[in-house]
Structure formats: structure tokens, C-alpha cells
Amino acid sequence: MLFSEKLVLDEEKAKVEADIQSCAEEMSTLEQELETVLAAGKQLEMQKTEAQKRLNELDSKVCFPFIDCTDIYYHMHLNTMDDRTLR
């Protein structure tokens, strides 16, 4: 009886050890995937920062002339209205 119980326990132990090994391998794979995803996220964040810098540069080159023109148009329009009201 003791010998057969030992065989059963040895089989169970082998199954548990195999499960542990399988879980360890899966965890290692998941850790590698996590590192890859984190690195990709960091790279995307850097690209986002660079893209925002470029957008800011373009805004400073493109938008300011339009703002100045709008201000000029606005003041010209006010002057025209003033001239009309004075007549």
C-alpha cells in the first residue's frame, strides 16, 4: 500500500513541477512582451513630443501672420465704420 501511494504522490509531484515550469515559462514570455510594449509606448511618447514641437514651430510660422492680418483687417474695418459715421 505504501509503495502504490508513493507512486501516486510522485506522479502528482511531477505534474505540479511541470505546471510550475510551464507557468514560469509563460511568465517569462509575458515579461518580455511587457518590456516590448513599454519600450514601444516610450518611443511613441517621444514621437508625440517631437510632433508637438513641430506643430508649435509651424503654428509660430503660419498663425502669427494671419493673426496680424486679422488685426489689421479689424482695425481697417473700424476705421471705415468711423469714417461712415462721421459723414
Dmax over CA atoms of the chain, in Å, equals 121
How much is the pTM? 0.55
pLDDT in tens, 44-68: 999 999 999 998 888 777 655 555 5
pLDDT in tens, 2-42: 988 999 999 999 999 999 999 999 999 999 999 999 999 99
Query: What number of other Cβ atoms are within 10 A of residue 75's Cβ?
Result: 10
